[in-house]
Amino acid sequence: KNEVEQSPQNLTAQEGEFITINCSYSVGISALHWLQQHPGGGIVSLFMLSSGKKKHGRLIATINIQEKHSSLHITASHPRDSAVYICAVKGRSQGNLIFGKGTKLSVKP
């Protein structure tokens, strides 16, 4: 079993829909990251969370430390949101990140 599990693996949505991507992890962490990977491969860091909730534009990320679960929400989705969204955690005793396999999001106009 992977230490970081994401669901769904693939997601297709219509423009304007509210989107949720989930991430569960099995290790103790110091921080959780949500990343966005575009078709060319480059990765952009969206959020780093250790508790609670963060919002940036139409993106919202939440984390529940007790349940070892995080969600990434996209409100009013747009075709330009189409990308792979990756959840990654930093363990308490590690410097590197442990990555989920990613969720491929496709938003149709």
Partner 1 sequence: SQTIHQWPATLVQPVGSPLSLECTVEGTSNPNLYWYRQAAGRGLQLLFYSVGIGQISSEVPQNLSASRPQDRQFILSSKKLLLSDSGFYLCAWSLVSGGYTFGSGTRLTVV
- Shortest CB 44 distance to partner 1, Å: 7
Biggest CA–CA distance in the chain, Å, is 44
Q: Which of residues 84-103 bind partner 1 (CB under 8 A)?
A: 86, 88, 90, 95-97, 99-102
First-to-final CA distance of the chain: 36
Q: How far apart are CA 13 and CA 11, in angstroms?
A: 7
Q: Which of residues 39-68 bind partner 1 (CB under 8 A)?
A: 40-45, 48, 50
Judged by CB under 8 A, which of 7, 10, 26, 30 binds partner 1?
A: 30
Nearer to partner 1, 60 or 97 (CB): 97
Burial of 77 (0-12, 13-18, 19+ CB in 10 A): buried
* List of residues contacting partner 1 (CB under 8 A): 2, 4, 30-31, 33, 35, 40-45, 48, 50, 86, 88, 90, 95-97, 99-102
